[in-house]
Amino acid sequence: MEVKDTFIIGRKPVIDALNASRALEKVWIDNNLKGELEQDVRRMTRSLKIPLQYVPKAKLNSLVKNSNHQGLVALMPLVDYLSIEDVLPHIFESGKTPLILVLDGVEDVRNIGALARSAVWFGVDAILVSIKRTARFNSFAYKSSAGALNDITVCREISLTKSVQYLKDCGLKIAVADGKGTSQGHETIFSEPLALILGSEEKGVVREIAELADVFIRIEGTEKVESLNVSVAGAILLNEIFKIRNVR
């Protein structure tokens, strides 16, 4: 089944959706739009934890093929976003040992989709992302995931740092994938409640989150290239975790 992005176009439709507290993937607004309307959109998107981006009119035209957008466009989500504080207690209550995949700054939708597919295959309980520093879970991500986005819980938060701190406070070990980390000696924590954090290929994990790490993990290789694609690195590490937890 082909999945396509669904846009809400125009001021009244978008405002009506926000007033109804509808979950939206993202809202784009003309950066020349000022006054009460702009203030209302900014207030409501912040309240509903919906990403808002100020863009030139040409960007809006390209999104909706020159439809009469009146400076305002929204994208309907393909996944239902939850809060990690609602999800984690249920994982513990089910008797499982939590495994949370945290994506910090992964901005390529193809990587998002591939990581979702690996997450489902290797038994990840939830994917945790930031509102601002993560690619949209759109039709391209859905296609890359081969439908796996239907089968994984996605949590989206305003502050990823605070959410990782919450995971740590709840007893999860924080493992950050990093080329300068260790390649051995970290396997024992893979059997414990765990948050695996992957950063962008260009910038890695932000300092505030890295400071919460219990361990930094490096993947062994020839190092003839600077780094692995983040989705490949994620699959390798999730496979290691799966084997330690399930292969006896």
Span(s) in the chain for CATH 3.40.1280.10: 81-246
- Say whether 32 sits in a helix, a strand or coil: coil
Q: What is the model's pLDDT at position 176?
A: 94
Token pair belonging to 125: 């309980």
For residues 117 and 145, the answer to whether their CB atoms sit within 8 Å is yes
User: Tell me, what amino acid is at 241?
Assistant: I
Helices and strands, number each (H, E), in the chain: 9, 11
On whether the 7-75 domain is CATH 3.30.1330.30, my answer is yes
Q: How far from 8 is each of 21, 30, 41, 63, 150, CA to CA, in Å?
A: 14, 15, 14, 11, 22
Host H or E run for residue 52 = strand 52-55
- Give me the chain's average pLDDT, please: 89
Q: How confident is the model at residue 122 (pLDDT cuts 50, 70, 90)?
A: very high
Closest CA to 142 of 120, 112, 164: 112
CATH class, range 81-246:
alpha beta
pLDDT digits (tens, 9 = 90+) for 4-27: 788 999 999 999 999 998 888 899
Q: What is the mean pLDDT of residues 151-174?
A: 95
Neighbours of 202 (CB within 10 A): 9
Q: Answer yes or no: is pLDDT of 147 > 80.
A: no
Most trustworthy range by pLDDT among 96-105, 127-136, 193-202: 96-105
Q: What is the model's pLDDT at position 221?
A: 80
For residues 55 and 86, the answer to whether their CB atoms sit within 8 Å is no
Q: How confident is the model at residue 143 (pLDDT cuts 50, 70, 90)?
A: confident
Query: Which of the two residues, 248 and 233, has the higher pLDDT score?
Result: 233
Query: Which of the two residues, 89 and 150, has the higher pLDDT score?
Result: 89
Q: Where are the extended beta strands (E) located within 78-237?
A: 81-82, 99-104, 126-130, 153-157, 173-182, 194-199, 215-217
pLDDT digits (tens, 9 = 90+) for 65-89: 878 999 999 998 888 889 999 999 9
